[in-house]
């Protein structure tokens, strides 16, 4: 089973940027933890981060037919990107939207996700450990309803 984890804009600054909101865990630590957890669950996890919407969309399109599930923290694109939403729909695999902070405890503009209804679930407010919770949930969903095509 193959899982793609994508991180959106500014997440490369984790551990340095607004630690009172995002904590002190770095993106590399998150990715390493996901890969390690994936190995223990018997799945391969590949992680990537970009500050560019088009690059995230390209990666999603390239993953079509190659991944069984997607974890995505779209960051600021959560609230603005119809194009990212369309790419997730076209990918046609279970997707979980992840946020480090609880977006409902933040500015009102962060309360609207353009991706929420095309994802099987959303996980937010658990800090960096939310990624691992999301991976466990996604793998559980995939094991309960295995992909129809082998990857």
Residue 14: phi and psi, rounded to 5, are -55, 145
Beta bridge partners of 123: 98
Check 7, 22, 77, 131 and give the catalytic one.
Answer: 22
Structure tokens at 87: 């790419």
118, 146 contact by CB (below 8 A): no
Check 7, 52, 77, 99 and give the catalytic one.
Answer: 99
Alpha helices in 10-128 (DSSP H): 19-22, 27-41, 53-63, 82-91
Strand ordering across the sheet containing 2-7: 44-49, 2-7, 69-73, 95-99, 121-124
22 as an active site residue: the answer is yes
- Which residues form the catalytic set? 22, 99
């Amino acid at each position: 089973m193959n899982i793609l984890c994508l991180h959106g804009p500014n997440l490369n600054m984790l551990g340095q940027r607004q630690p009172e909101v995002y904590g002190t865990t770095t993106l590399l630590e998150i990715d390493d933890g996901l890969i390690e957890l994936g190995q223990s669950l018997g799945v391969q996890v590949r992680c990537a981060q970009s500050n560019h919407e088009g690059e995230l969309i390209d990666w999603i399109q390239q993953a079509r037919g190659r991944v069984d599930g997607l974890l995505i923290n779209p960051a600021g694109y959560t609230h603005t990107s119809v194009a990212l939403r369309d790419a997730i729909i076209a990918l046609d695999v279970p997707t979980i939207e992840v946020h480090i902070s609880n977006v409902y405890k933040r500015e009102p503009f962060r309360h609207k996700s353009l991706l929420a209804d095309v994802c099987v679930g959303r996980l937010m407010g658990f800090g960096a450990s939310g990624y691992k919770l999301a991976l466990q949930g996604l793998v559980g969903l995939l094991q309960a309803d295995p992909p129809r095509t082998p990857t």
